[in-house]
């Protein structure tokens, strides 16, 4: 794999990457990574109720507004590469054409790590279908027989970011990331999501709660690192290490 530090975030809808991984994105951008965000849809049907309540609203107007919000959020996080597949939502169209398109992106980016949704989400099947889609595309991108001649993918970790109703999603965090130093960027990105203002403080509270877990698991009162804001992730694949700590 290339020595260039890259990461790929696969977001079902155009706001998901902000709530759930905005801190990780901003932090890694600041560390020299080139983070690519792919929004499979704008969330125009299922996650834009505030916009649809406006008189004279149309599908294209909703898409335009949602794209603008996502681009502004990406800028706030320091992201230079955000891509919109526009495959529709509720449900997403994740057929072979979308799959081939995503595999091409994965091979182009050669990410050091990937991020997507929880494996289970009965409240929004777009989310869990996106994770199954990400796993399948990762697998295909590793296959030497798929489009021979292209550079195949290595074995990037897939981090599953925190779902909205954690206890219902069978999601268990295995990694906590301190995002305190970039919280201002994530908060600015959150506030770009004007169509879902009801979620702003919810995700601020999530970050504060996960910071408590970070402090506890980094040593607690016996010397844990101070963290005011954090994000949690569940990992899919085993780690390969030379030393345990």
pTM for the full predicted model: 0.95
**For the segment 133-147, what is each residue's pLDDT rounded down to a tens digit?**
999 999 999 999 999
pLDDT at res. 224: 81
pLDDT of 2 strictly over 80: no
What average pLDDT does this structure show over 104-130? 98
- 157-161 sheet: strands from edge to edge: 81-84, 34-39, 6-11, 113-116, 157-161, 230-235, 175-178
pLDDT at res. 169: 95
Q: DSSP assignment of 84-109, as one string?
A: E----TTTT--SHHHHHHHHHHHHHH
Residue 47 carries which DSSP code? S
Strands 34-39 and 81-84: parallel
pLDDT of 70 strictly over 70: yes
Q: Which of 20-24, 30-34, 74-78, 218-222 has the lowest mean pLDDT?
A: 218-222
**Residue 81, token pair as written in the block:** 């590469």
Confidence of residue 1 (pLDDT cuts 50, 70, 90): very low
Contact call for residues 244 and 167 (beta carbons, < 8 A): no
In the predicted model, what is the mean pLDDT of the chain?
95
């Amino acid at each position: 794999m290339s020595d260039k530090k890259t990461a790929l975030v696969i977001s079902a809808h155009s706001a998901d990457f902000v709530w759930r991984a905005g801190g990780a994105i901003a932090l890694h951008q600041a560390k020299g990574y080139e983070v690519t965000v792919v929004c499979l849809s704008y969330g125009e049907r299922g996650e834009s109720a505030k916009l649809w309540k406006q008189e004279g609203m149309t599908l294209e107007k909703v898409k335009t507004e949602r794209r603008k919000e996502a681009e502004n959020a990406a800028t706030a996080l320091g992201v230079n590469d955000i891509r919109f597949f526009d495959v529709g939502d509720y449900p997403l169209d994740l057929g072979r054409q979308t799959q081939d398109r995503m595999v091409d992106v994965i091979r182009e980016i050669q990410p050091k790590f990937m991020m997507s949704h929880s494996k289970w989400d009965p409240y929004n099947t777009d989310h869990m279908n996106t994770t199954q889609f990400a796993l399948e595309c990762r697998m295909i991108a590793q296959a030497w027989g798929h489009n021979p001649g292209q550079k195949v993918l290595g074995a990037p970790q897939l981090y599953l970011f925190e779902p909205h109703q954690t206890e219902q999603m069978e999601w268990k965090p295995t990694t906590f990331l301190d995002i305190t130093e970039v919280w201002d960027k994530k908060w600015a990105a959150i506030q770009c999501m004007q169509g879902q203002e009801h979620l702003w403080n919810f995700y601020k509270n999530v970050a504060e709660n996960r910071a408590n877990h970070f402090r506890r698991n980094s040593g607690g009162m016996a010397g844990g690192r101070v963290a005011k804001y954090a994000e949690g992730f569940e990992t899919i694949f085993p780690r390969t290490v030379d030393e345990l700590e």
